[in-house]
């Protein structure tokens, strides 16, 4: 009885013994294929290469490095069994199985090369920025930082040059935005900087009409009258490509506006574009700006007159500002900033200035009455007694005469330009240019004068017929 039990137990143990051949044949649910075991021709292994390379197997999702688990007869896996990971296998075969695919190796190689180039270029750029100063570099950048190769000096030079890269895009394109002032006979006593948007013009967009731009009432008279006293600089808050055509319509002959500046000439600081008057190459004591944006006048608020934005409705605010600007330009002041600071509210400057003028006018008239009453000899003799005219009225009368004369010259110039545009233009053929038959400059001028004289005769004859 005991022998039978021992024999049956031995048989059961023998049945449960793992057979390597069965385990290999019963491996399921594992994607393990070795490229070295599949050949184009199994008999000639050395002369034929594998069809399923590592790259192909990697693309179809087969993991060559995954280890299989043994499976028993009943289908349950035996954890930790290393059937194919035999020590008797060749060392090169084990390394090949553990290695990555060729695509991954290439990617890793390229990434390493990129990192090396990146860090090398970074170190080279840092060394270049930390070099000694060049002679042609800006004095402001290298101020108080001498040459040398100590760690402190290298860091200071690197930091100064690195920061200057960003300030290059924040600063205006030129250190002096305007050329030097003209000589004294042609020089205006003061410089007036005017913004364009919501002061001289107003633009609106509607779904029916799109963009529409309105010109403020009195702009032509404001620019024409003050151009005899001021060097007018138009400083737009928008880019040149958008407002250049508008400026041409405001002043086609460039008779009023001396210079035009745009958003490209602003200083970008703290998230806003600032109109830096110190970059205009003009004396700040004789420069003032008329602006509607608070951020644009951050650096020189003492030189600015801030007005409310114009909403497109008709008004006469520009005309009311003319007496103050006329007074400021004709008094030969040394510094306009204290005068501007004397006004409590610059947005209501015309009203406050008129109050001051009315007081001066009253005092002046009282003085004139006293002088007339005191001069009793002339009254006894019956001699005429005249009151003197208020000085600001005399200045304004003279300004109006100059403005009218200037407008007459502008109209004459416009007539000449129109007449020149109506003249027949002389054209030349390409054959004349190739053969060298073009007339000289003297001949071309002579022909042009003859055509102009003929054109004037035709105009005169037509005017006589019309009369």
Give the pLDDT of the chain (467 residues) as one tens digit per residue: 445 544 554 455 445 444 444 444 444 444 444 444 444 444 444 444 556 666 666 666 565 555 444 444 444 444 444 444 445 555 555 555 455 678 888 888 999 999 999 999 999 988 888 888 887 777 777 777 888 888 888 888 888 887 777 666 678 888 899 999 988 878 899 999 999 999 999 998 888 888 889 999 999 999 999 999 999 999 999 999 888 899 999 998 889 999 999 999 999 888 889 999 999 999 999 999 999 999 999 999 999 999 999 999 999 999 999 999 999 999 889 999 999 999 989 889 999 999 999 999 999 988 888 877 766 566 565 555 667 889 999 999 999 999 999 999 998 888 877 766 655 555 656 666 666 666 777 777 777 777 777 777 776 776 666 65
Nearest to 200 by CA among 278, 309, 349, 41: 309
DSSP secondary structure letters along 31-84: ----TTT--SSSS-TTTS--SS-HHHHHHTT--TTPPP-EE-TTS-EETT--SS
Q: How far apart are CA 111 and CA 105, in angstroms?
A: 10
Cβ pair 109, 57 in contact under 8 A: no
pTM above 0.95, yes or no: no
In the chain, % helix, strand, coil (3-state, to 5) comes to: 50, 10, 40
Q: How far apart are CA 191 and CA 42, in angstroms?
A: 96
Q: How far apart are CA 45 and CA 60, in angstroms?
A: 24
Which homologous superfamily does the CATH classification assign to the domain defined by 184-342?
A: HAD superfamily/HAD-like (3.40.50.1000)
Inter-CA distances, 293 with 273, 279, 345, Å: 10, 19, 16
pLDDT for position 341: 94
* Residue 270 φ/ψ region, left for φ over 0, alpha for ψ in the -120 to 50 degree band, beta for the rest: left
Neighbours of 30 (CB within 10 A): 13
Instruction: Give bridge partners of residue 289 from the DSSP assignment.
Output: 193, 304
pLDDT for position 363: 92
Six-digit token pair at 433? 């240019």
3-class secondary-structure state, position 257? strand
């Amino acid at each position: 009885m005991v022998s039978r039990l021992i024999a049956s137990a031995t048989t059961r143990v023998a049945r449960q013994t793992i057979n390597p051949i069965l385990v290999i044949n019963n491996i399921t649910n594992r994607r393990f294929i070795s490229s070295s075991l599949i050949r184009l021709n199994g008999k000639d292994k050395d002369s034929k290469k594998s069809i399923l390379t590592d790259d192909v197997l990697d693309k179809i999702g087969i993991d060559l490095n995954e280890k299989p688990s043994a499976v028993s007869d009943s289908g349950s896996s035996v954890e930790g069994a290393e059937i194919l990971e035999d020590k008797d296998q060749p060392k090169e075969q084990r390394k090949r199985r553990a290695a990555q695919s060729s695509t991954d190796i290439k990617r890793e190689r390229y990434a390493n090369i990129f990192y090396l180039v990146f860090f090398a270029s970074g170190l080279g750029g840092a060394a270049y920025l930390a070099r000694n100063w060049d002679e042609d570099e800006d004095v402001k950048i290298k101020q108080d930082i001498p040459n040398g190769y100590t760690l402190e000096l290298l860091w200071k030079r690197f930091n100064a040059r690195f920061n200057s890269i960003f300030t290059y895009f924040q600063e205006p394109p030129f250190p002096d935005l305007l050329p030097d002032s003209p000589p004294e006979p042609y020089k205006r006593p003061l410089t007036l900087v005017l913004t364009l948007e919501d002061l001289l013009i107003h633009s609106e967009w509607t779904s029916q009409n799109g963009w529409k731009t309105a010109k403020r009432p009195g702009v032509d008279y404001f620019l024409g009258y003050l151009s005899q006293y001021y060097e007018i600089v138009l400083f737009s808050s928008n880019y040149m490509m958008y407002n250049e055509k508008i400026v041409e319509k405001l002043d086609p002959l460039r008779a009023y506006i001396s210079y035009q500046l745009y958003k490209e000439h602003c200083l970008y600081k703290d998230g806003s574009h600032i109109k830096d008057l110190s970059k205009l190459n003009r004396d700040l004591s004789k420069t003032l700006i008329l602006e509607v944006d608070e951020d644009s006048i951050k650096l020189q608020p003492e030189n600015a007159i801030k007005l409310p934005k114009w909403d497109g409705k008709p008004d006469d605010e520009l005309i009311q500002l003319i007496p103050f600007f006329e007074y400021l330009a004709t008094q030969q002041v040394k510094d306009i900033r204290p005068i501007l600071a004397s006004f409590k509210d610059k947005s209501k400057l015309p009203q406050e200035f008129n109050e001051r003028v009315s007081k001066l006018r009253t005092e002046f008239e009282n003085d004139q009455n006293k002088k007339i009453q005191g001069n009793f000899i002339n009254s006894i003799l019956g001699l005429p007694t005249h009151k003197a005219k208020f000085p600001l009225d005399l200045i304004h009368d003279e300004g109006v005469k100059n403005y009218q004369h200037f407008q007459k010259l502008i109209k004459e110039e416009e007539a000449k330009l129109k007449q020149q545009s109506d003249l027949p233009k002389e054209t030349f053929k390409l054959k004349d240019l190739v053969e060298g038959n073009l007339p000289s400059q003297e001949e071309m001028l002579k022909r042009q004068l003859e055509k102009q004289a003929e054109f004037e005769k035709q105009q005169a004859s037509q005017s006589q017929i019309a009369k």
